[in-house]
Amino acid sequence: MLVSDVFVAGGQPTVTYIARDSTLEAKLRRYLQGSSTFLLLTGPTKSGKSVLCKHIIPNETCIWLSGGQIPDEDAFWMQAIHKLELSVRTTESTSNERATEFEAGAETAGIGALVARFRGGAMVGRKKGTASAREIAKDPKLTVLQALELGKETLVIDDFHYIPRDVQRSIVRALKEPVAGGQRIVLSSLSLIEILTSNEPSPKLLVA
């Protein structure tokens, strides 16, 4: 084993991981079992907020966003689109058909790919048409919200304090409905920030 395997500077420690207060880890695990509110995880820089989340929340069930890369609301939704592996474009297909009628005789009538047998006179129809497709841009915000309502992943917004205050409020307002439906969202920040207005759900506070 190498020294770099033991002392992971800036990364996720394994050998040297020191378990946090058992109550703290238990609270986080309890929140992940089911909740209808945000979880606000606060503490000084380098106090282990990110390490705690990565240790408790399985990587395969976590969508991790970085607040340091979110200067505005559009950047938040596009980063979420990327992490959720969604597409912001869809294809719409249309077709135009026209019907052709003609009278067939008593004999077998061969009409291209259509072969019909007739006794006496009959009217036979054949449809011709053309198909076309066009790409349509989807709304990133709506696309992410729909995915969150269907998914089971925990959304972690790390370094939430880096996001401008007005953008924080817009993000929280938009995520209110998925949270009410059971979506788990963890906000990791340096300190307790008043991001929620009085008519929005209060976060559970878990101090690291």
Q: Is the pTM of this model over 0.75?
A: no
Pick one of 3.30.420.10, 3.30.70.330, 3.40.50.300, 3.90.1150.10 as the CATH number of 27-85+139-207: 3.40.50.300
d(CA 94, CA 99): 17
Nearest CA to 193 out of 155, 148, 161, 149 is that of 161
Which two tokens mark 79?
A: 């980063």
pLDDT winner (highest mean) among 21-30, 49-58, 199-208: 49-58
d(CA 146, CA 87): 12
Determine the pLDDT at residue 43. 85
Least confident of 63-77, 83-97, 133-147, 187-201: 187-201
DSSP SS3 for 66: strand
Q: What is the pLDDT of residues 173-202, one digit of tens each?
A: 999 989 988 899 999 998 765 555 445 566
Which two tokens mark 203?
A: 């976060």
Least confident of 9-13, 55-59, 201-205: 9-13
Domain boundaries, the chain: 27-85+139-207, 90-136
Beta bridge partners of 181: none
Neighbour tally for 196: CB within 10 Å: 17
